[in-house]
Structure 1
Amino acid sequence: MTLVNWVELFGAEKYRNIVIDGLKFCQENKGLRIFVWVIMPSHIHLVADSLNGNLSKTIGEFKRHTSKTIYDELKRETEFDSTEFLTLFRDFSTLHSRNNDYQVWIQDNHPVELFSSKFIDQKIDYIHNNPVKAGYVEKTEDYLYSSARNYADMPELIDVELA
């Protein structure tokens, strides 16, 4: 899932925490099962399914909730000038008839069916290595906003079901 225009809003901790809170809410209340995740500055990678059988609906609810929370937080922002973000999100809302006043997330989620153990392992490695490739950390498990910590049996931010 990617923020519109690939804006790097998740560089700020409070916006990453909105995503984490949204994922936890969906786990606890919407049947979201998370296997692998990482939050990068402009996007999220997620391997998940939904106990309710409709992952698309669950992700849609997550995106609606986090969009509103992010937008409202930007309106109250005092640590930096959020005008550019607010304007961008309002401008993107005019591109799709389903939008109301703003659009925070790109509408397409790029879902990929994971059909074999080898393919699943490739996706886990790809997702966990994103912060390493970006130069944020040297080892995958050193990146706090990733399930690599779960797989390394380290303190984590989100519970996952190990693949």
Structure 2
Amino acid sequence: MTISLTVNGTEHAVDLPGEVPLLWALRDELNLTGTKYGCGVAACGACTVQIDGQPVRSCQVALADVWGPVTTIEGLGTPDAMAVIQQAWVDHQVAQCGYCQSGQIMQAAALLAETPEPTDDEIDAAMQGNLCRCGTYPRIRAAIHDAARAMKV
């Protein structure tokens, strides 16, 4: 079955069964490997991407169920510059092992698109379910606050 997807602003046709998880189409068919496989049951958030601006766990969304344009970590910035949220991550040295960071950033970007000046409680609620084994949660929160301030300017 050929399924059409718009990913990071580019139209793609993938020849896969509709029940294949979006995660595998992104990684194996489109070679967008920034989105990570973590747990496979939507419990860790490593595979978070955005569909039509909404953060989703791509391991649990079947290709046939994709309802809008997909944005992955590769689609946030430009070839010449990182997105504001990505730069905040670097500035705060959030990543240690880095494995969860693409999912964390995609979740944070969706939060900031919906809530431009989030409180600590709003950040904690939005980021719940995106797990970091290295425990960089205070840095994540600080990076989100800094990105929010930078986006206001």
**What is the TM-score normalised by the length of structure 1?**
0.27
Instruction: Pick the structure with more strand per residue.
Output: 2
Higher relative contact order (CA 8 A, sep 6+): 1
Q: Tell which structure's C-alpha radius of gyration is larger.
A: 1
